[in-house]
């Protein structure tokens, strides 16, 4: 595996076609040949050096854009003991962004857990499932009321994500719901150069006052991002606390649509086994790690070519400056 060269964006290598007209011009253009012969020998050499380094700069830029990978990138070591009920084998890396609806309706306590709000119930399901399925998984978090933002970028530090979720469950709720903006923000957290599978866990009652959830779902589908919907709240509805008495009901249809259109699953947040169902689904999306729990994936190397491109460009400019100084 370590000796295999792969590219995240192999189409970028088509940029090498730019060298075809350059080579043809150098070898077959009488005008270019005439200019070369009219230059003094020392200037001709410096011009040749400048052109060589500039073309090396172009090659390195194209290579960096292609996203080369080789070698083995190790994920954090997985624990030697498993929580009860988990299979003995581990799996490949999965990137998961938890999209949290923190609108006022998520403060309603209409679940079967007494005084636990919709938001607290949904986050408890996700946290419990993530603990069971955490090995080999990077977590991130996005939130939205009227506008979605990435609150925690993808990280191996699950405790940082859990700490944010605890804060979200107690202090971030407010007016307004825009699930389209929430999904768009969660989608932006994924790295296009990263080969892992991508999953959004949407924690919401499905009600939206603005935006188009369907439009965001279609974008997720095009980008290969699965949305698993954790639907909290009751179908009968309850009054939103504070202000005008408005009844908020769970929109199960919208949440089922989001999951069904993207290849995710619908999780009924009111079921006692919701966290177990979610954990099983997350584990089913992963693919083989080795026996030690290490991720056998080629390591990204684009930055090497980016640095070489900077150095080559600097050398090209330095050659021209030396020509201008008459050295």
Mean pLDDT, range 302-311, rounded to an integer: 83
Considering the entire predicted model, what is its pTM? 0.60
- Look at phi and psi of residue 293 and say left if phi exceeds 0, alpha if psi is from -120 to 50, else beta: left
- 156: pLDDT confidence band, cut at 50, 70 and 90? confident
Least confident of 17-31, 74-88, 117-131, 271-285: 74-88
Q: Are 291 and 275 in contact (CB under 8 A)?
A: no
Give 190-247 pLDDT, tens digit per residue.
877 666 789 999 998 888 777 788 999 999 999 999 999 999 888 887 777 665 677 8
> In this predicted model, what pLDDT tens digit does every residue of 170-194 receive, in sequence order?
555 556 678 889 999 999 988 776 6
Q: Where are the domains of the chain?
A: 6-71+297-325, 94-284
The fold for domain 94-284 equals Rossmann fold (3.40.50)
Q: Is the pLDDT of residue 89 over 50?
A: no
């Amino acid at each position: 595996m370590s000796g295999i060269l792969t590219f995240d964006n192999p189409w970028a290598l088509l940029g090498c076609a730019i060298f075809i007209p350059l080579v043809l011009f150098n070898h077959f253009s009488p005008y270019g040949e005439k200019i070369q012969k009219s230059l003094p020998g020392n200037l001709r050499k410096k011009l040749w050096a400048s052109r060589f380094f500039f073309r090396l700069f172009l090659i390195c830029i194209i290579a960096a854009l292609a996203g080369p990978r080789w070698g083995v990138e190790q994920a954090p070591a997985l624990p030697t003991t498993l929580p009860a009920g988990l299979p003995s084998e581990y799996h490949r890396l999965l990137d998961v962004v938890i999209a949290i609806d923190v609108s006022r309706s998520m403060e309603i306590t209409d679940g079967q857990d007494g005084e636990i709000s919709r938001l607290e119930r949904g986050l408890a399901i996700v946290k419990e499932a993530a603990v069971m399925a955490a090995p080999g998984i990077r977590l991130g978090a996005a939130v939205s009321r009227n506008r979605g933002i990435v609150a925690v970028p993808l990280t191996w530090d699950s405790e940082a994500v859990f700490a944010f979720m605890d804060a979200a469950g107690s202090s971030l709720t407010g007016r307004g719901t825009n699930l389209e903006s929430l999904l768009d923000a969660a989608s932006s957290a994924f790295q296009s150069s990263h080969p892992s599978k991508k999953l959004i866990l949407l924690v919401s009652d499905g009600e939206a006052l603005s935006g188009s959830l369907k439009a965001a779902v279609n974008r997720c589908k095009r980008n290969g991002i699965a949305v698993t919907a954790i639907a909290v709240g009751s179908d009968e509805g309850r009054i939103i606390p504070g202000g005008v008495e408005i009844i908020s009901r769970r929109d199960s249809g919208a949440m089922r649509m989001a999951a069904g259109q993207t290849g995710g699953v619908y999780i009924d947040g009111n079921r006692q086994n919701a966290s177990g169902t979610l954990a099983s689904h997350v584990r089913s999306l992963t693919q083989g790690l080795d026996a030690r729990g290490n991720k056998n994936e080629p390591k990204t190397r684009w930055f090497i070519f980016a640095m070489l491109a900077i150095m080559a460009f600097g050398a090209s400019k330095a050659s021209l400056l030396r020509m201008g100084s008459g050295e």
